Amino acid sequence: MTQALFIVAPASGQGKTTITAGLAWLYRQQGNRVRIFKTGPDFIDPMIHEVSTGHPVYQLDMWMGGQAHVRSLLAEAAQTADIILIEGVMGLFDGTPSSADLAEALGVPVLTVIDASSMAQTFGALAHGLATYRPSLPLFGILANRVASDLHADLIATSVREDTPLKGIIRRNADAALPERHLGLVQASELSDLTHRITQMADQLAQTTLVDTTPLPQVSFKQTQPLVETPRLLADKTIAISKDKAFSFLYQANMDTLKALGAKIVYFSPLANEALPQCDAVYLTGGYPELYLDTLANAQQTANSLREHHLQGKPILAECGGMLALLNQLTDKAGKIGKLWGLLEGEAVMQNRLVALGMQAVNFPEGELRGHTFHHSSLRMQLEPLTQGVNPHGKGVSEKVYRVGKLTASYIHLYFPSNAKATAALFV
């Protein structure tokens, strides 16, 4: 049995990432071995949590990876962790499957974080509704966040019914808040004071009954199905992966899959204008190329080595931001145009609102792979697509996938554990 808690909220932006990171830091300082997992296909929150725990953070998604895969990740962590924290995504009941679905399937009680900054006694009604909407969902309690004053705290506390455990009241604290941008929180690598922000939240949480007097629930994490051994289809292959502030969207599970397939992984930084290291294939990850247009336009050593790699007929997989960098040009929100690397005949323009969001299943010639898409740019591509993604929930999001020789590019962030054999085929 392992102590575990599922941190959720009624909506995005309630502060659950800050609360989760603060809790992990606090428990860790008490001598516990803490692991955090993130619900859904999120890249940015896990970067924050890696700082708070000192461990890699894996995504839990029952559609992309399957329930057996999710359970295996948790079961492995439970072998060494004293405490496992799972951060939900969006609102508690949002999505299919939702954070509530996952919490119930795993039997992990939920702590619901509610931003109380724009309400008073209505807090109690919201807390009661979330606690009772699905009676089968295990509830641990409610945490009031961003409370303004002693009077506000009293109004919140007296509004909550006795059958809805209020585990703490967190006062508004700008020093603990995490800044945001268009794809979510600002990346951990860009926050020089991240540790200070996390410790500020940990100090506040230390004063609540959540940490002071209440033991966390004990949960049994067991592997319910035997895992299929991954064939070493990439043995003796070296894959170069882009990794810096502009190209940072990378699942730990994807790297694990490549290693299980037998690949050796090396990294390079386009922002530092590094040439490709000696490699057999390239994985251009997503991120924020639009924030570094001048630097990337001038990264000719990187661009030339990628062109040479492509001309030699070696594989390249480019996802979202990685694909944008391979276009002829990219225009940011201010209208600034960056002339980029030109391996793909097309251009993209950043928009002021979200363009596409949703899960995607892609039938490649190599097999089906699952993933998701989330971007704020529109694309004009002169190429005919190889195939298109399909949203499993019947939504209109259907991202095109392009292929030129051994170069495969799309907005879709693929989740390699969904099909290891098809993944291997993209890199040979």
Domain assignment present for residue 233? The answer is no
Domain holding 381: CATH number? 3.40.50.880
Domain assignment present for residue 228? The answer is no
Q: Kindly write down the DSSP assignment for every residue of 124-165, as one continuous string.
A: HHHHHHHHHSSTTS-EEEEEEEEE-SHHHHHHHHHHS-TTS-
Low pLDDT (below 70) residues in the chain:
181-183, 212-214, 226
Based on the fold, state whether residues 180 and 286 are members of the same structural domain.
no
Domain assignment present for residue 49? The answer is yes
Domain assignment present for residue 188? The answer is yes
Residue 384 has φ and ψ, to the nearest 5°, of: -80, 140
Query: Model's pTM, two decimal places?
Result: 0.93
Based on the fold, state whether residues 150 and 255 are members of the same structural domain.
no
Based on the fold, state whether residues 324 and 198 are members of the same structural domain.
no
Domain assignment present for residue 229? The answer is no
Domain assignment present for residue 47? The answer is yes
The pLDDT assigned to 179 comes to 80
Q: Which of 371, 361, 374, 364 is nearest to 417 (CA)?
A: 371
Domain assignment present for residue 227? The answer is no
Based on the fold, state whether residues 286 and 212 are members of the same structural domain.
no
Which one of 219, 251, 279 terminates a domain? 219
Q: Kindly write down the DSSP assignment for every residue of 95-117, as one continuous string.
A: SSS-HHHHHHHHTPPEEEEEE-T
The pLDDT assigned to 182 comes to 66
Per-residue pLDDT tens digits for 315-338? 999 999 999 999 999 999 999 999
The pLDDT assigned to 96 comes to 86
Contacting residues for 105 by C-beta, under 8 A, at least 6 apart: 62, 67, 97
The pLDDT assigned to 214 comes to 65
- The encoded tokens of residue 312 equal 């030699």
Based on the fold, state whether residues 179 and 267 are members of the same structural domain.
no
Based on the fold, state whether residues 83 and 39 are members of the same structural domain.
yes
Q: Are the CB atoms for 350 and 336 separated by under 8 Å?
A: no
Cα 280 to Cα 50: distance, rounded to the nearest angstrom? 30
The pLDDT assigned to 191 comes to 81
The pLDDT assigned to 246 comes to 95
- The encoded tokens of residue 296 equal 């990337």
Q: Kindly write down the DSSP assignment for every residue of 208-239, as one continuous string.
A: SHHHHT-PPPEE-----SPPPPPP-TTTT-EE
Based on the fold, state whether residues 291 and 207 are members of the same structural domain.
no
Which one of 186, 219, 252 terminates a domain? 219
The pLDDT assigned to 109 comes to 97
Instruction: Provide the number of structural domains found in the chain.
Output: 2
Based on the fold, state whether residues 334 and 294 are members of the same structural domain.
yes
Domain assignment present for residue 231? The answer is no
The pLDDT assigned to 382 comes to 86
**Catalytic sites, residue numbers:** 320
Q: Identify the domain containing residue 24 by its residue range.
A: 2-219
Domain holding 59: CATH number? 3.40.50.300
Alpha-carbon Rg for the chain, nearest whole angstrom, is 22
